[in-house]
Amino acid sequence: MTKMGNDFPNSPRVHADWEFALVAKSSKKVQNTKKFRLVAIALSNEHKAHVGIIIPELSSEYVELPSLVYKFLSQLEHDNTMSSMSKLEFTGTVYLYTDKLLVSEDSIKKHFEKDNMLVQFKVEKQNPFM
């Protein structure tokens, strides 16, 4: 996976680790969990921030990501311990760091565009079937 530090070496960052619970449709039981990280990336001297999403493998759960980005930003805004990050304006740009996409980039892009977000893909090992 491409390292975010290489792309934003001098940008302050704050992150939160979350996970998806993958539930079986028939039994409604949790079969697996998929961990991911959301990162606010401050742009120096601009009072703005991008968001990075780090997830090893992305499949149909991508539909949840735009709302989770906004939830993450809302939590930062209300977190008094992160006062410098809470005052940043979100640029709308989301950097998606992954090793493997199991859905097309186009589908993901269109979904994020519905929430006025632009996705920049940072895929290390592209799926040969896409």
- The pLDDT of residue 45 is above 90: no
- Is 41 exposed, middle or buried, given 0-12, 13-18 or 19+ CB atoms closer than 10 A? buried
User: Could you tell me the residue ranges of all domains in the chain?
Assistant: 4-123
Of 26-35, 47-56, 103-112, least confident by mean pLDDT is 26-35
Model confidence, pTM: 0.85
The 10 Å Cβ neighbour count of residue 93 is 17
Residue 71 · residue 96 · CB < 8 Å: no
Residue 41 · residue 4 · CB < 8 Å: yes
Integer Cα distance of 85 and 81 in angstroms: 9
Residue 130 has what pLDDT?
Answer: 45
- 9-29: pLDDT as tens digits: 888 888 889 988 877 778 888
Strand partners, 34: 20
- 61-78: pLDDT as tens digits: 999 999 999 999 998 888
